Chain A
Amino acid sequence: MTKKIKLKISARLLKKKLRKDSTGGSKHCRFCNNPELVTEIDYKNASFLRKFLTERGKILPARISGNACKYQKMVAREIKNARIMALLPFCATSY
Protein backbone atom coordinates (compact mmCIF):
# COMPACT_ATOMS: atom_id res chain seq x y z
CA MET A 1 0.00 0.00 0.00
CA THR A 2 1.33 3.32 -0.99
CA LYS A 3 0.17 6.38 0.74
CA LYS A 4 -0.86 9.41 -1.25
CA ILE A 5 1.20 12.37 -0.21
CA LYS A 6 -0.44 15.77 -0.39
CA LEU A 7 1.73 18.75 -1.11
CA LYS A 8 1.28 21.44 1.47
CA ILE A 9 1.08 24.99 0.22
CA SER A 10 1.26 27.78 2.71
CA ALA A 11 -1.52 30.32 2.93
CA ARG A 12 0.87 33.12 1.98
CA LEU A 13 1.83 31.46 -1.31
CA LEU A 14 -1.81 30.70 -2.10
CA LYS A 15 -2.72 34.36 -1.63
CA LYS A 16 0.18 35.40 -3.86
CA LYS A 17 -1.00 33.05 -6.60
CA LEU A 18 -4.54 34.37 -6.35
CA ARG A 19 -3.34 37.95 -6.60
CA LYS A 20 -1.35 37.14 -9.75
CA ASP A 21 -4.32 35.49 -11.41
CA SER A 22 -6.71 38.29 -10.54
CA THR A 23 -4.68 40.90 -12.48
CA GLY A 24 -5.06 39.02 -15.75
CA GLY A 25 -1.90 36.97 -15.89
CA SER A 26 1.58 38.12 -16.74
CA LYS A 27 2.25 41.47 -18.46
CA HIS A 28 4.17 41.75 -21.68
CA CYS A 29 6.78 44.28 -22.67
CA ARG A 30 5.73 46.52 -25.56
CA PHE A 31 9.31 47.03 -26.77
CA CYS A 32 10.36 43.39 -26.98
CA ASN A 33 10.05 42.11 -30.58
CA ASN A 34 9.20 45.65 -31.74
CA PRO A 35 12.38 47.42 -32.90
CA GLU A 36 10.45 50.32 -34.51
CA LEU A 37 9.02 51.33 -31.15
CA VAL A 38 12.46 51.20 -29.53
CA THR A 39 13.69 53.94 -31.89
CA GLU A 40 10.97 56.23 -30.52
CA ILE A 41 12.61 56.25 -27.07
CA ASP A 42 14.29 59.63 -27.35
CA TYR A 43 14.55 62.61 -25.04
CA LYS A 44 13.21 64.90 -27.78
CA ASN A 45 10.04 62.81 -28.22
CA ALA A 46 8.40 64.10 -25.04
CA SER A 47 4.84 63.23 -26.05
CA PHE A 48 5.80 59.54 -26.29
CA LEU A 49 7.65 59.58 -22.96
CA ARG A 50 4.60 61.08 -21.26
CA LYS A 51 3.03 57.61 -21.44
CA PHE A 52 5.53 56.47 -18.83
CA LEU A 53 4.76 59.22 -16.31
CA THR A 54 2.12 59.37 -13.62
CA GLU A 55 -0.24 62.31 -13.27
CA ARG A 56 2.17 63.81 -10.77
CA GLY A 57 5.12 63.46 -13.14
CA LYS A 58 6.82 60.47 -11.52
CA ILE A 59 8.31 57.69 -13.64
CA LEU A 60 6.01 54.66 -13.81
CA PRO A 61 7.60 51.51 -12.35
CA ALA A 62 8.21 48.56 -14.67
CA ARG A 63 5.92 46.58 -12.40
CA ILE A 64 3.02 48.65 -13.79
CA SER A 65 4.17 49.61 -17.30
CA GLY A 66 5.34 46.05 -17.99
CA ASN A 67 8.65 47.14 -19.59
CA ALA A 68 11.56 44.73 -19.66
CA CYS A 69 14.51 45.81 -17.53
CA LYS A 70 16.59 46.83 -20.56
CA TYR A 71 13.93 49.17 -21.95
CA GLN A 72 12.85 50.51 -18.56
CA LYS A 73 16.42 51.76 -18.04
CA MET A 74 16.41 53.41 -21.49
CA VAL A 75 13.05 55.09 -20.88
CA ALA A 76 14.08 56.35 -17.43
CA ARG A 77 17.30 57.83 -18.78
CA GLU A 78 15.55 59.67 -21.62
CA ILE A 79 12.85 61.00 -19.28
CA LYS A 80 15.56 62.41 -17.02
CA ASN A 81 17.22 64.10 -20.01
CA ALA A 82 13.89 65.57 -21.14
CA ARG A 83 13.30 66.90 -17.62
CA ILE A 84 16.57 68.81 -17.71
CA MET A 85 15.52 70.50 -20.97
CA ALA A 86 12.12 71.45 -19.46
CA LEU A 87 10.24 69.26 -21.94
CA LEU A 88 8.85 67.12 -19.12
CA PRO A 89 8.06 68.16 -15.54
CA PHE A 90 10.05 67.10 -12.49
CA CYS A 91 6.90 67.43 -10.45
CA ALA A 92 3.50 68.23 -11.94
CA THR A 93 1.52 70.35 -9.51
CA SER A 94 -1.60 70.85 -11.60
CA TYR A 95 -3.31 68.06 -13.47
Chain B
Amino acid sequence: MLRYEILFLTVPEITGDEIESIKSYFLKSIRAAQGDMLSFERWGKYRLAYPVNKNDYGVYFLARFEVALENRDALLKDVRGAYIFKFNTLIMKNMIHRLDSEASLEYKRPESLEDSPSDVDSFLKKNEMEGLLKPKGGFRAKKTEDKSIVGGVAFEAEAAIIATKATVEDDIENSND
Protein backbone atom coordinates (compact mmCIF):
# COMPACT_ATOMS: atom_id res chain seq x y z
CA MET B 1 0.00 0.00 0.00
CA LEU B 2 1.22 3.48 -0.86
CA ARG B 3 0.76 6.29 1.61
CA TYR B 4 -0.20 9.81 0.55
CA GLU B 5 -1.11 13.07 2.19
CA ILE B 6 -3.03 16.07 0.93
CA LEU B 7 -2.67 19.50 2.43
CA PHE B 8 -5.27 21.95 1.26
CA LEU B 9 -6.01 25.57 1.96
CA THR B 10 -9.60 26.75 2.13
CA VAL B 11 -11.25 30.15 2.41
CA PRO B 12 -11.38 31.51 6.00
CA GLU B 13 -15.21 31.68 6.15
CA ILE B 14 -15.75 27.94 5.54
CA THR B 15 -18.64 26.39 7.49
CA GLY B 16 -18.96 23.03 9.21
CA ASP B 17 -21.35 21.68 6.57
CA GLU B 18 -18.95 22.54 3.76
CA ILE B 19 -16.12 20.75 5.59
CA GLU B 20 -18.36 17.71 6.01
CA SER B 21 -19.23 17.71 2.30
CA ILE B 22 -15.53 17.80 1.35
CA LYS B 23 -14.72 15.06 3.85
CA SER B 24 -17.57 12.79 2.73
CA TYR B 25 -16.66 13.21 -0.96
CA PHE B 26 -13.05 12.40 -0.10
CA LEU B 27 -14.03 9.30 1.91
CA LYS B 28 -16.33 8.09 -0.85
CA SER B 29 -13.65 8.34 -3.54
CA ILE B 30 -11.07 6.59 -1.33
CA ARG B 31 -13.49 3.75 -0.56
CA ALA B 32 -14.27 3.40 -4.26
CA ALA B 33 -10.53 2.90 -4.86
CA GLN B 34 -10.39 0.33 -2.02
CA GLY B 35 -8.09 2.50 0.07
CA ASP B 36 -7.94 3.51 3.72
CA MET B 37 -8.35 6.93 5.21
CA LEU B 38 -5.74 7.41 7.97
CA SER B 39 -6.61 10.87 9.22
CA PHE B 40 -8.44 14.07 8.39
CA GLU B 41 -7.30 16.99 10.53
CA ARG B 42 -8.19 20.65 10.74
CA TRP B 43 -5.09 22.72 11.47
CA GLY B 44 -6.95 25.91 12.18
CA LYS B 45 -6.97 29.45 10.93
CA TYR B 46 -3.70 30.95 9.73
CA ARG B 47 -2.46 34.29 8.53
CA LEU B 48 -1.08 33.57 5.04
CA ALA B 49 2.41 34.59 3.96
CA TYR B 50 0.88 36.37 0.95
CA PRO B 51 -2.72 37.05 -0.07
CA VAL B 52 -4.36 34.20 -2.01
CA ASN B 53 -7.50 35.06 -4.03
CA LYS B 54 -7.57 38.38 -2.11
CA ASN B 55 -7.74 36.50 1.23
CA ASP B 56 -5.24 37.37 3.96
CA TYR B 57 -6.36 34.44 6.12
CA GLY B 58 -7.04 30.77 5.40
CA VAL B 59 -7.85 27.43 7.03
CA TYR B 60 -5.60 24.43 6.45
CA PHE B 61 -6.66 20.77 6.37
CA LEU B 62 -4.45 17.70 6.21
CA ALA B 63 -5.77 14.36 4.99
CA ARG B 64 -3.78 11.13 4.84
CA PHE B 65 -4.71 7.92 3.09
CA GLU B 66 -3.39 4.61 1.82
CA VAL B 67 -4.10 3.16 -1.59
CA ALA B 68 -2.87 0.24 -3.67
CA LEU B 69 -0.66 0.86 -6.68
CA GLU B 70 -3.28 -0.29 -9.21
CA ASN B 71 -5.94 2.20 -8.07
CA ARG B 72 -3.59 5.09 -7.29
CA ASP B 73 -3.69 6.98 -10.56
CA ALA B 74 -7.47 6.92 -10.83
CA LEU B 75 -7.91 8.11 -7.23
CA LEU B 76 -5.43 10.97 -7.51
CA LYS B 77 -7.02 12.08 -10.76
CA ASP B 78 -10.44 11.99 -9.12
CA VAL B 79 -9.28 14.00 -6.08
CA ARG B 80 -7.44 16.60 -8.17
CA GLY B 81 -10.46 16.98 -10.44
CA ALA B 82 -12.79 17.46 -7.46
CA TYR B 83 -10.59 20.18 -6.00
CA ILE B 84 -10.35 22.02 -9.28
CA PHE B 85 -13.96 21.76 -10.49
CA LYS B 86 -16.30 20.81 -7.63
CA PHE B 87 -14.91 22.71 -4.64
CA ASN B 88 -13.19 25.48 -6.56
CA THR B 89 -14.98 28.20 -4.56
CA LEU B 90 -13.86 26.70 -1.23
CA ILE B 91 -10.39 25.27 -1.85
CA MET B 92 -7.75 27.78 -2.87
CA LYS B 93 -4.62 25.60 -2.93
CA ASN B 94 -3.81 21.92 -2.55
CA MET B 95 -0.71 19.79 -2.53
CA ILE B 96 -0.48 16.01 -2.79
CA HIS B 97 2.63 14.52 -1.29
CA ARG B 98 3.94 10.94 -1.20
CA LEU B 99 4.86 9.67 2.27
CA ASP B 100 7.34 7.04 3.28
CA SER B 101 5.28 3.97 4.24
CA GLU B 102 7.65 3.01 7.06
CA ALA B 103 8.13 6.46 8.58
CA SER B 104 6.08 7.56 11.59
CA LEU B 105 2.96 9.67 11.08
CA GLU B 106 4.09 12.37 13.51
CA TYR B 107 4.69 15.81 12.12
CA LYS B 108 5.12 19.38 13.25
CA ARG B 109 3.05 22.30 12.07
CA PRO B 110 3.23 26.04 12.71
CA GLU B 111 1.09 27.52 15.48
CA SER B 112 -2.29 28.71 14.26
CA LEU B 113 -4.16 31.83 15.32
CA GLU B 114 -6.58 29.66 17.33
CA ASP B 115 -3.74 28.02 19.30
CA SER B 116 -1.99 31.25 20.20
CA PRO B 117 -3.76 33.65 22.61
CA SER B 118 -5.39 36.58 20.85
CA ASP B 119 -4.58 39.16 23.52
CA VAL B 120 -2.08 39.59 26.34
CA ASP B 121 -4.64 39.52 29.17
CA SER B 122 -5.91 36.01 28.39
CA PHE B 123 -2.31 34.76 28.07
CA LEU B 124 -1.42 36.16 31.52
CA LYS B 125 -4.56 34.67 33.11
CA LYS B 126 -3.84 31.28 31.54
CA ASN B 127 -0.25 31.19 32.83
CA GLU B 128 -1.13 32.43 36.37
CA MET B 129 0.51 35.84 36.03
CA GLU B 130 -2.51 37.90 37.07
CA GLY B 131 -0.34 40.34 39.01
CA LEU B 132 0.89 41.73 35.69
CA LEU B 133 -2.63 42.48 34.47
CA LYS B 134 -3.14 46.14 33.72
CA PRO B 135 -6.03 47.76 35.60
CA LYS B 136 -8.73 49.45 33.54
CA GLY B 137 -7.75 52.95 32.52
CA GLY B 138 -4.06 52.38 33.23
CA PHE B 139 -2.02 52.26 36.45
CA ARG B 140 -2.26 56.02 37.13
CA ALA B 141 -6.01 56.31 36.72
CA LYS B 142 -8.09 57.06 39.84
CA LYS B 143 -10.19 54.32 41.31
CA THR B 144 -13.80 54.68 40.38
CA GLU B 145 -16.19 54.83 43.36
CA ASP B 146 -19.08 52.43 43.50
CA LYS B 147 -22.24 54.27 42.65
CA SER B 148 -25.60 53.03 43.79
CA ILE B 149 -28.05 52.69 41.00
CA VAL B 150 -31.09 54.95 41.20
CA GLY B 151 -34.03 53.82 39.20
CA GLY B 152 -35.85 50.64 38.63
CA VAL B 153 -37.78 49.06 41.57
CA ALA B 154 -36.08 51.00 44.42
CA PHE B 155 -36.81 54.38 42.81
CA GLU B 156 -40.50 53.55 42.31
CA ALA B 157 -40.87 52.38 45.95
CA GLU B 158 -39.37 55.65 47.27
CA ALA B 159 -41.68 57.67 45.06
CA ALA B 160 -44.68 55.70 46.36
CA ILE B 161 -43.75 56.35 50.01
CA ILE B 162 -43.43 60.11 49.36
CA ALA B 163 -46.79 60.13 47.61
CA THR B 164 -48.54 58.38 50.53
CA LYS B 165 -47.00 60.85 53.05
CA ALA B 166 -48.30 63.79 51.02
CA THR B 167 -51.82 62.33 50.93
CA VAL B 168 -51.78 61.69 54.68
CA GLU B 169 -50.74 65.32 55.37
CA ASP B 170 -53.49 66.56 53.08
CA ASP B 171 -56.06 64.44 54.98
CA ILE B 172 -54.89 65.87 58.31
CA GLU B 173 -55.17 69.42 56.99
CA ASN B 174 -58.64 68.69 55.68
CA SER B 175 -59.79 67.20 59.02
CA ASN B 176 -58.53 70.28 60.90
CA ASP B 177 -60.67 72.49 58.75
- Footprint of B on A, CB under 8 Å? 39-40, 42-48, 81, 83-90, 92
Contacts and interface: CB of A to CB of B under 8 A. Distances in A.
Contacts, number: 47
B33 interface: no
Q: Is the interface of A mostly helix, strand, loop or mixed?
A: loop
B110 A47 contact: yes
A44 B93 contact: no
Interface of B: 7, 9, 46, 48-50, 52, 58, 60, 62, 93, 95, 97, 103, 107-111
B107 A42 contact: yes
B107 A87 contact: no
A71 to B, nearest CB: 17
A86 B93 contact: yes
Contacts of B111: 47
Contacts of B110: 45-47, 87
A64 to B, nearest CB: 22
B49 A44 contact: no
Nearest to A49: B110
B7 A44 contact: yes
A90 B94 CA distance: 17
A86 B50 contact: yes
8 contacts: A44-B107, A83-B49, A85-B93, A86-B50, A86-B58, A87-B49, A87-B110, A92-B49
Contacts of A89: 49-50
Query: Which of A44, A46, A48, A88 lies at the interface centre, i.e. has the most chain B CB atoms within 10 A of its CB?
Result: A44
Given A81-B95, A84-B95, A85-B93, A45 B108 contact: yes
Nearest to A84: B95
